Structure 1
Amino acid sequence: MHLNDTKGYKAFRIFNIITMILIVIVTFVPFINIIAQSFSSERFITAGEVFLLPRGFNIETYRAVLSNQRFWIHYRNTIVYAVVGTALAMFLTTLLAYVLAKPKTRLKGKGFWVGFSVFTMFFAGGIIPTYIVYNNTLNITNTMWSVVFPLALSIYNMLIMKAFFENLPPSLEEAASIDGMSTYGIFMKIVLPLSKPILATMTLFYAVAYWNAWFQAFMFLNDWTLFPVTLFLRNLISGATATGEAAAAEAGGAQIASNVRSVSMFLTVLPIICVYPFVQKYFVTGIMLGSVKE
C-alpha cells in the first residue's frame, strides 16, 4: 500500500488543512479588521460595531493622513533606511557566507569563525553598552547609520546563505579557476547568478526587517525629521504624540485616534504587501535550498 493511501496519512492531511485554515484566520482577520476600521466612521468604531466590513464608509481620515507632511517625511526616511540598509546587509551577509562556505583546506580557522559568528546570536553587549559605543565611540547617534548598522548583519540569514553556497557544485568553481578566473570573478559571475533564489529571499528578509524597525530609531534618534514611519506609528499607538488628534482635527473632528491609527497601519504595511507577491516564488525555494545540506 502506498503511503498516500494509508488512513494515518489521510488523517494527517485533514488535520494539517484544518490547522492551516485556523492559522490563516487568526492572522488574517485582525488585518481585515484594521482595514475595516480605517474606512469606518467614529460612531460605529466607538460602539464596537466594526468587525470585517466598514460601517459608515468614509475616506476623510485617509485624506488627513496623506496630507500630513510629517507622515511623508517619515515614509521617505523608511524607504531610505530600507534601501540603504538592505544593500549594506546583503553585501556583508553574502561575503561572509561565501567565505565561511569554503572548506577547511581553503580557509584556516573556519571552525573558529563559524563558532564566533554563532556565539553572537546568543550573547550581545546589551542596550547600554551598545548606546555608549554608538554615541561615544562611533558618534553616529541621531544619524541614519544608527538605524542601519544594528540590522546590517543577521547571523541567522548568513548561516542559511552559507548552507546554500555549500550546496553549489564545487566543480563549477574548480573549472573556472582552471580557466584563469579570479576568486572575485568566480563569485560575481558564477556564484551570484546561481544564487538568485537565496538572494531574493534574504533581500526580502532584510527589507521587511528594516521596514518594520522602530526600536533602533526610538533609542538612537532625537530629531523627529529622521524618524521612520514605524516610529511615527508607534507614537500613534502608544499615545506618545498628539499626531492622531491633530490628524483627526484636520479631518474636521469626524474621526478618532483609533481610526487614524488604523489608516496609518494600513498605509505602512501596504508597500510590503505589494512587493511580497513578486518575490514569493523565490521564498520557499531559497529557504529549502539554504536550510538542507546534502
Structure 2
Amino acid sequence: MGRRWQRISFGDAVFEGINHLVMLALCFITLYPIWYVLINSLNEGGDALRGGIYWWPRMFTLDNYIAVFRDNGIMLAMGVTVAKTVIGTALHVLFTAMVAYAFSRRELLGRKVYMGIGTITLFFGGGLIPTFLLFRDLGLLDTFWVYIIPVMFNFFHLLIFLAYFRDFPEGLEEAAKIDGANDLTVFYKIMLPISMPVVATIALFHGVYQWNDYFTGVIFINNNDLHPIQTFLYRIVTQAATSEIVDTTSIEKSMTMLSVKLATMVVTTLPIVVVYPFLQKYFVKGLMIGSMKG
C-alpha cells in the first residue's frame, strides 16, 4: 500500500484531495437542507421560532408528528397517494411494455408513422388549457382515474423498452410459436419475465413521478378527498391559516404552523427517500442493458 502511494505524484495527490473536498461539499449542500427540516420538525414549535437550531433539536418533541397523524385528512391523502402510485405504476409498466413489444415487431403496419408521431410528443405538448378541456370532455375531472389514464403511456419509456426488446433473439419467439403460443402468450410468459431489469427501471421512474406529483391534484381535482399527499402538503405550505388543514383545537401551544408544516414535509417525503437508494441500481442496469447486449 505504501509503494502505491509513493507512485502517486504530488499533483495527482492534490487533484484527488480537491476532488474529495468538492464532493464532500456537494454532499453537504444536498443533504443539510433535509437534515435541517428534520431537526426543526422534532423541536418544540415555539422554541424553533427563536432560530439557532442547526445541528440537533434544542427541545425535542414528537407533538408535531402527533398533530400530523391526528388529522384524518393526511391519512386519507396518504392512502390516495399509495393507491395511485401502486395502480398507476403497474398499469403504466404493463401498457407501455405491450406497446413497445408491438413496436419491436417489424411486421407492424405503419410502425414508422407511429414512431414519427411519438417522437413529436417528446418535443411538443398540447398545453394546459387543451389538456384541461380534453380531460373535461373525457369525464376525468374530479375522478381518481385522472391520475392513472393520462399517464399510462410514455413514449420515452417506450424507447427504453424497445431498445431491450430488439436485442432478443428471434429464435426465442419462433420456438414459442411453434409450440402453439400466440403473441400475448409470448409477451406475458417469455418477454415480460426476462425483462425485469428494464421493468424495474420504468417502475421506479413512474413510481417516483406518481409519488411526487402534486400538480394534477391542484389543477384537475376539486374534491379534497381525492387529493394525494403532495397536493395536501402544497395546501399546507401555501395557506397562511391552519383552519382548513389541521384542526386548530388539536394544536397545542408547543406547536406552530411552521413546525406542523415541517413535520408534514418529512412524513410525505420520507417513504420515497427511504426506498429510492435501494432501487437506484436498476436505473443504470436497466438503461445500459440494451446497449450492452449484442
TM-score scaled by structure 2?
A: 0.87
Aligned equivalents of 2:123 and 2:180: distance in 1?
Answer: 42
1:76: which partner in 2?
Answer: 79
Q: Secondary structure at the match of 2:148?
A: helix
Measured after TM superposition, the shift of residue 176 of structure 1 is 2.2
2:126: which partner in 1?
Answer: 125
Q: Secondary structure at the match of 1:167?
A: coil
1:175: which partner in 2?
Answer: 175
Q: What's the CA shift string for 1:206-245, capped at 9, x where partnerless?
A: 1111111111111111111111111110011112662588
Give aligned-pair identity as a percent.
32
Check the 8 A contact 1:221/1:227 in 2, yes or no.
yes
Is 1:109 paired with 2:110?
yes
Q: What's the CA shift string for 1:77-98, capped at 9, x where partnerless?
A: 1111112211221122111111
The verdict on how the C-alpha distance between 1:240 and 1:219 changes in structure 2, with shifts beyond 3 A counting, is farther
Check the 8 A contact 1:61/1:260 in 2, yes or no.
yes
Aligned equivalents of 2:80 and 2:183: distance in 1?
Answer: 37
Q: What's the CA shift string for 1:249-290, capped at 9, x where partnerless?
A: 523121222211111111112222343354344332112214
1:271: which partner in 2?
Answer: 271
1:45: which partner in 2?
Answer: 48
Aligned equivalents of 1:100 and 1:16: distance in 2?
Answer: 45
1:138: which partner in 2?
Answer: 138
Q: Secondary structure at the match of 1:195?
A: helix
Q: What's the CA shift string for 1:23-76, capped at 9, x where partnerless?
A: 332221111111111101234422221223222111001111111111111111
What amino acid is aligned across from residue 109 of structure 2 in structure 1? K
Aligned equivalents of 2:290 and 2:35: distance in 1?
Answer: 33
Check the 8 A contact 2:46/2:254 in 1, yes or no.
no
Q: Secondary structure at the match of 2:166?
A: helix
Q: What's the CA shift string for 1:166-197, capped at 9, x where partnerless?
A: 22333322332333322112111111111111
Map residues 274-289 of structure 1 onto 2, 5 A cutoff: 274-289=274-289
What amino acid is aligned across from residue 239 of structure 2 in structure 1? G
1:92: which partner in 2?
Answer: 95
Check the 8 A contact 1:42/1:256 in 2, yes or no.
yes
Aligned equivalents of 2:110 and 2:23: distance in 1?
Answer: 44
The verdict on how the C-alpha distance between 1:68 and 1:47 changes in structure 2, with shifts beyond 3 A counting, is same
- State the 4+ residue runs in structure 1 displaced beyond 4 angstroms: 5-20, 290-294
Check the 8 A contact 1:141/1:220 in 2, yes or no.
yes
Aligned equivalents of 1:247 and 1:38: distance in 2?
Answer: 18
What amino acid is aligned across from residue 233 of structure 1 in structure 2? L
Of 56, 61, 64, the residue aligned with 2:59 is 56
Aligned equivalents of 1:114 and 1:293: distance in 2?
Answer: 23
2:30: which partner in 1?
Answer: 27
Check the 8 A contact 1:74/1:232 in 2, yes or no.
yes
The verdict on how the C-alpha distance between 1:274 and 1:125 changes in structure 2, with shifts beyond 3 A counting, is same
Is 1:187 paired with 2:187?
yes
Aligned equivalents of 1:81 and 1:65: distance in 2?
Answer: 21
Aligned equivalents of 1:139 and 1:29: distance in 2?
Answer: 44
The verdict on how the C-alpha distance between 1:192 and 1:256 changes in structure 2, with shifts beyond 3 A counting, is same
Give the number of aligned pairs: 287
What amino acid is aligned across from residue 172 of structure 1 in structure 2? L
Aligned equivalents of 1:165 and 1:6: distance in 2?
Answer: 46
The verdict on how the C-alpha distance between 1:11 and 1:93 changes in structure 2, with shifts beyond 3 A counting, is farther
What amino acid is aligned across from residue 127 of structure 1 in structure 2? L
Check the 8 A contact 2:103/2:111 in 1, yes or no.
yes
Q: Secondary structure at the match of 1:168?
A: coil
Q: Secondary structure at the match of 1:122?
A: coil
What amino acid is aligned across from residue 120 of structure 1 in structure 2? T
Aligned equivalents of 1:202 and 1:283: distance in 2?
Answer: 8
The verdict on how the C-alpha distance between 1:88 and 1:55 changes in structure 2, with shifts beyond 3 A counting, is same
Kindly report the root-mean-square deviation, in angstroms, between the aligned alpha carbons of the 2 structures. 2.7
Aligned equivalents of 1:34 and 1:143: distance in 2?
Answer: 33
Q: Which runs of 5+ in 2 are unaligned?
A: 1-6
